[in-house]
DNA sequence: CGTGCCATTGACCATTATCAAACGACGTGG
DNA sequence: CCACGTCGTTTGATAATGGTCAATGGCACG
């Protein structure tokens, strides 16, 4: 593994506070892999062998059951994933695949559990990470239960515009197909929903989104910090 | 607080492994309260002052946004709740109300965070608890995304029958209204869905559910351990 | 024995999925 | 350089799913 990759991992909040010796133990036991686009990294139902750290690229979490499939979330680097399954040593509940060529650091699950038992700072960081992800999941469930697909889309557009600096205009960072699945709808429905949002001033040309009346959009979307604000 | 209530708390996995002195610190700082049915114990958007431990009764977690409301889960004693908000010291994302007269132990959030920093066994237990709840939430989201309301109901009936010992017959443990909200549907829809399940051998008289053909029910419901099995 | 609240039922509407077809961007190979 | 195939996207028609509103019946509790 190159030193810069180890540094990326070390810089994550999850690994930042731990003792050097413990970090060396983790990173020494781990290794780095490069994957092309579309590779399934983990399969739901299997047992976790490694804690994964996404260093470059991006990963989509999805799940399939009884002939249906859904995207649960997208992950951007740098970020660790499947921590809950690793610490409990229980089956994966989601599958993960790369949506672009990606670089992943793999750390043996047993090494993670060993260091977790020895390093209080790491244990605290694991708690913070799990609690943070727990809360994101609560927000996802609320988003799904309390809103129509049109409202989820409208709020996603508002949130993404804020992330991009409130310019009122941005390019979709992912394919519409992937966005549709992420928002819990079919691509056909996303297409119609995007057209529908013209009524509140959202205009679409290809993958360019223009918000021409943010107030009208917000009046329709009714964003809620307890669902949409990543810092809450 | 009565000694027996403290013992109930102490017996929880979350508190079981910690040092006596630390448990005394927590329980000494805490106090016990009794609530009638229908009291809102916590309001989403507020800051957590206490870790709650449900000792008796039952609690419903719900959320409201933009004129809509949904039930996110039900909690049975003994069980701690709102742990994620407490350890991160961030706003509640859900509200909670009693659905029957309940007994709750309240432990000041700061005391929890103090002991968490000092007691590795407690820290490990917090991780296990958070990871467990995280996984339950993933299952909830999959259940919601991958199934229709009729399928969620069918699988709930199968799961509840298993919990009750696979007798093929049980009494609903909660009002249909509450069950409907828990399963993410309206009471009218639950009514129709229950009638619909007669086609696969489920018969309903008042709050009594009879499964007359478990195989037919399972063939329709297609239960998935990665969604329905509480031990996975 | 009222008075509410829960549950059911009917009619209707909103939302979303499904199926099908057509279009368009993009990359490959001739 | 262009023809072609692939895949993502859009659009249309239709069906499934679930919500809303309203009326009614039933049951518990005062």
pLDDT higher than threshold 80 for residue B58: yes
Token pair of B126 as six digits: 């917090």
Q: Is the domain of B155 the same as that of B192?
A: yes
Chain A: residue whose CA lies nearest to B114: A124
Confidence (pLDDT) at A2: 75
Looking at residue B8, its pLDDT comes to 83
Alpha-carbon torsion B224, B228, B231, B232, what sign? positive
Among B45, B135, B144, the residue with its CB nearest the CB of A226 is B45
* pLDDT(B6) > 90: no
Same-domain pairing of B110 and B201? no
In DSSP terms, which residues pair with A31 in a beta bridge? Answer: A106
Are both B19 and B95 inside the same structural domain? yes
Distance in angstroms between the alpha carbons of the first and the last residue of chain A: 35
How many angstroms separate the CA of residue B2 from the nearest CA in chain A? 31
Asked whether the beta carbons of residue B144 and residue A145 sit closer than 8 angstroms, the reply is yes
What is the sign, positive or negative, of the torsion defined by CA atoms of A137, A142, A144, A150? Answer: negative
Phi and psi at A49, nearest 5°, equal -100, -25
Please state the rounded mean pLDDT for residues B48-55.
Answer: 94
**pLDDT of res. A185:** 96
Give, in degrees to the nearest 5, the angle at Cα B77 between B142 and B65.
Answer: 50
Residue A50 and residue B64: Cα distance in Å, rounded?
38
Question: CATH number of the domain that A176 lies in?
Answer: 1.10.10.10
Contact status, residue B84 vs residue B72, Cβ threshold 8 Å: no
In this predicted structure, what is the pLDDT of residue B96?
Answer: 95
| Alpha carbon separation from B51 to B41, B74, B104 (Å, rounded) | 11, 17, 10
* A112 assigned to some structural domain: yes
A78, A103, A133 - which closes a domain: A133
In sequence order, what DSSP letters do the residues of B14-54 get, joined into one string?
HHHTS-HHHHHHHHHH-EEEEE-TT-EEE-TTSPP-EEEEE
| Protein residues with Cβ atoms closer than 7 angstroms to any atom of nucleic acid strand C | A 68, 148-150, 184-186, 188-189, 193, 206; B 175-177, 187-188, 190-192, 194-195, 204, 206-207
Quickly give B62 CA vs D25 C1' distance in Å. 30
Polymer length of chain B: 232
Q: In whole angstroms, what is the distance from residue A128 CA to residue A36 CA?
A: 31
| Residue with token string 């050097």 | A20
Across chain A, the runs of DSSP E, i.e. the strands, are: 31-35, 40-42, 50-56, 59-65, 68-75, 79-81, 95-98, 102-108, 169-171, 202-205, 208-211
Same domain, residue pair B21 and B113: yes
**For the segment B94-150, what is each residue's pLDDT rounded down to a tens digit?**
999 999 999 999 999 999 999 998 888 898 899 999 999 999 999 999 999 999 999
In total, the C-beta contacts within 8 angstroms joining chain A to chain B are 152
Residue B9: half-sphere exposure toward Cβ, Cα within 13 Å: 27
For B151, nearest residue in chain A (alpha carbons):
A66
Chain A CB contacts of B69 below 8 Å: 146
**CA–CA distance, A163 with A107 (Å, rounded to integer):** 31
Rounded Cα distance, B161 and B214, in Å: 10
What is the band of B21 on the pLDDT scale with cuts at 50, 70, 90?
Answer: very high
Element of type H or E holding A169: strand A169-171
Query: Is pLDDT of A219 > 90?
Result: yes
Whether A129 and A154 share a structural domain: no
| Domain match, B126 and B153 both | no
The answer as to whether A199 is a domain residue is: yes
A96 is written with which tokens? Answer: 């993960």
Q: Domain ends where: B133, B158, B193?
A: B133
Q: Residue A23 to residues A8, A20, A27, A33, A83: CA-CA distances in angstroms?
A: 12, 5, 6, 19, 16
Instruction: Please tell me the total count of domains within chain B.
Output: 2
Label residue A149 by pLDDT band (50, 70, 90).
Answer: very high
B58 within domain boundaries: yes
Task: Flag if A117 and B120 touch (Cβ within 8 Å).
Answer: yes
Residue A97 resides in a domain: yes
Interface contact B127-A87, CB threshold 8 A: yes
Q: Where a domain ends, among B90, B108, B133? A: B133
Evaluate if residue A9 carries a pLDDT over 90. no
Residues A175 and A207 placed together within one structural domain of the fold: yes
Query: Residue B127: which of A127, A139, A140 has the nearest Cβ?
Result: A127
Q: Which of B94, B123, B135 sits opposite A93 (nearest CB)?
A: B135
Write the pLDDT tens digit of every residue in B171-224. 999 999 999 999 999 999 999 999 999 999 999 998 999 999 999 999 999 999
Nucleotide with the nearest C1' to B174 CA: C6
Cβ burial of B102 (10 Å; 0-12, 13-18, 19+) is buried
pLDDT category at A6 given cuts 50, 70, 90 is confident
Could you say which of A83, A93, A144 has the minimum Cβ distance to residue B139? A93
Q: Does any domain span residue B139?
A: no
Task: Report the distance separating Cα A51 and Cα A232, nearest Å.
Answer: 26
Residue with token string 């983990």: A42
Chain B residue nearest residue A182, CA to CA: B145
B174 and B97 part of one domain = no
Closest residue, chain A, to B125 (C-alpha): A127
Q: A218 to chain B: nearest residue by CA? A: B66
Residue B153 pLDDT: 97
Q: What is the mean pLDDT of chain B?
A: 93
Domain that holds residue A152: 145-228
Answer yes or no: do A130 and B135 touch at CB < 8 A.
no
Question: For residue A138, is it within any domain?
Answer: no
Burial status of residue B129 (CB atoms within 10 A of its CB: 0-12, 13-18, 19 or more) = buried
For residue A14, the SS3 value is helix
Residue B76: pLDDT over 80: yes
Check: CB of residue A52 under 8 Å from CB of residue A80.
yes
With a pLDDT cut of 90, the percent of chain A lying above it is 83
Comparing every residue's Cα with the C1' atom of nucleotide C8, the nearest one is: B191
Same-domain status, B152 and B129:
no
Q: What confidence score (pLDDT) does residue B117 get?
A: 87
Interval A15-20 mean pLDDT: 90
How far apart are the C-alpha atoms of B2 and B31, rounded to whole Å?
10
> CB neighbours of B217 closer than 8 A, spacing ≥ 6?
B154, B157, B158, B197, B200, B201, B202, B211
Distance of alpha carbon B181 from alpha carbon A169, whole angstroms: 38
Q: Inform me whether the pLDDT recorded for A32 exceeds 90.
A: yes
Among B86, B135, B140, pick the best mutation site for testing chain A contact (most A Cβ within 10 A): B135
In a domain, A128, yes or no: yes
Alpha-carbon distance A204 to B5, whole Å?
Answer: 60
Within 8 A of B158 by CB-CB distance, chain A residues are none
* Other CB atoms within 10 A of residue B195 CB: 11
| Lowest mean pLDDT segment, chosen from A4-8, A56-60, A145-149 | A4-8
pLDDT at A4: 81
For position B232, what pLDDT does the model report? 86
CA distance B171 to chain A (A): 27
pLDDT tens figures, A39-97: 999 999 999 999 999 999 999 999 999 889 999 999 999 999 999 999 999 999 999 99
Looking at the DSSP assignment, which residues form a beta bridge with residue B104?
B33, B54
Nucleotides of C under 7 A from a protein CB: 6-11, 15-20, 25
Instruction: Among A121, A128, A145, pick the best mutation site for testing chain B contact (most B Cβ within 10 A).
Output: A145
* Cβ atoms within 10 Å of A44's Cβ, excluding its own: 21
Looking at the structure, tell me whether residues A53 and A119 fall in a common domain.
yes
User: For residue A14, what is the domain's CATH number?
Assistant: 2.60.120.10
Q: Do B93 and A142 touch (CB under 8 A)?
A: yes
Does residue A76 share a domain with residue A44? yes
Q: What is the pLDDT of residues A200-211, one digit of tens each?
A: 999 999 899 999
Tell me: do A28 and A84 sit in the same domain.
yes
Distance A17 CA to C30 C1' (A): 59
Asked if residue B27 belongs to a domain, the reply is: yes
Take residue B18 and report the two structure tokens written for it.
Answer: 């910690």
């Amino acid at each position: 593994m190159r030193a810069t990759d180890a540094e990326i991992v070390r810089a994550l909040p999850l690994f930042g506070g731990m003792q050097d010796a413990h970090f060396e133990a983790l990173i020494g036991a781990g290794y780095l892999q490069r994957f092309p686009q579309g590779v399934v990294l983990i399969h739901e139902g299997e047992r976790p062998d490694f804690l994964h750290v996404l260093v470059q690229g991006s990963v989509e979490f999805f799940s399939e059951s009884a002939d249906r499939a859904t995207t649960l979330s997208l992950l951007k680097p740098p970020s660790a994933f499947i921590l809950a399954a690793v610490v409990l040593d229980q089956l994966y509940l989601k599958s993960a695949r790369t949506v672009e060529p990606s670089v992943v650091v793999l750390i043996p699950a047993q090494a993670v559990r060993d260091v977790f038992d020895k390093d209080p700072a790491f244990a605290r960081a694991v708690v913070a990470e799990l609690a943070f992800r727990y809360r994101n999941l609560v927000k996802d469930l609320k988003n799904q239960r309390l809103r129509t697909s049109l409202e989820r889309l409208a709020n996603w557009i508002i949130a993404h515009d804020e992330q991009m600096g409130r310019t009122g205009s941005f390019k979709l960072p992912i394919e519409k197909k992937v966005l549709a699945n992420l928002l819990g709808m079919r691509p056909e429905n996303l297409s119609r929903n995007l057209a529908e949002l013209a009524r509140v001033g959202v205009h679409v040309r290809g993958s360019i989104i223009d918000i021409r009346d943010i107030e009208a959009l917000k009046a329709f979307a009714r964003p809620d910090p307890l669902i949409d604000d990543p810092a809450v």
